[in-house]
Structure 1
Amino acid sequence: MLIAVGLHVLLLMFEVLVCDRVARGNYFWLLVFMPLFFVSPVSVAACVWGFRHDRSLELEVLCSVNILQFIFIALRLDRIINWPWLCCHFAYIQFI
């Protein structure tokens, strides 16, 4: 129960930071994504605990497997990496 409450509080903090970043825009996206960076290891621990105790997990699995996506989206929004949003762009051009 405490793990679920902690996960939901961190997700709420992420949503509040996104709204504040969009409204004001005075800090980096990496700072906005920090609650998600903290959610992921906690979700991995919750998944291990849930599988051992035969509990159903939904949100925890999603948060634990998407840590790399959270990191790369934050880096892309801050323009630290300049990859295109569409990964299959070059393959699509070849088929045309």
Structure 2
Amino acid sequence: MLIAVGIHLLLLMFEVLVCDRVERGTHFWLLVFMPLFFVSPVSVAACVWGFRHDRSLELEILCSVNILQFIFIALRLDRIIHWPWLVVGCNFL
């Protein structure tokens, strides 16, 4: 329960940072995506705990699998990498 609350708070922080970035445009996208970078290792730990205790985990599985996607999107939005969006979204498949 505590892990789920922490994950939801980090996701809320990400949403607030996205809104702030869209309104002001002062932050780098890598800083905006930082809560998602913290969610992924916590989600992996939650998945391990959930599988051991026979719990159903949907959100945690999605967050733990998509860490590479979060990194590529943040790097592409900051124009650090200049790959086409198709290549950035390829690891979604």
Superposition TM-score, scaled by structure 1 size:
0.89
Aligned to 1:94: none
The correspondence of residues 21-60 of structure 1 with structure 2, limited to 5 A, is 21-60=21-60
Count of residues in Structure 1 that have an aligned counterpart in Structure 2: 87
Identical positions, percent: 91
Bigger radius of gyration:
1
Distance in 1 (alpha carbons) for counterparts of 2:3 and 2:85: 33
Q: Which 4+ runs in 1 deviate beyond 2 A?
A: none
What do residues 8-57 of structure 1 show as CA deviations (whole Å, max 9, x unaligned)? 00000000000000000001000000000000000000000000000000
What do residues 37-83 of structure 1 show as CA deviations (whole Å, max 9, x unaligned)? 00000000000000000000000000000000000000000000000
Superposition TM-score, scaled by structure 2 size:
0.92
CA RMSD of aligned residues (A): 0.5
Aligned to 1:61: 61
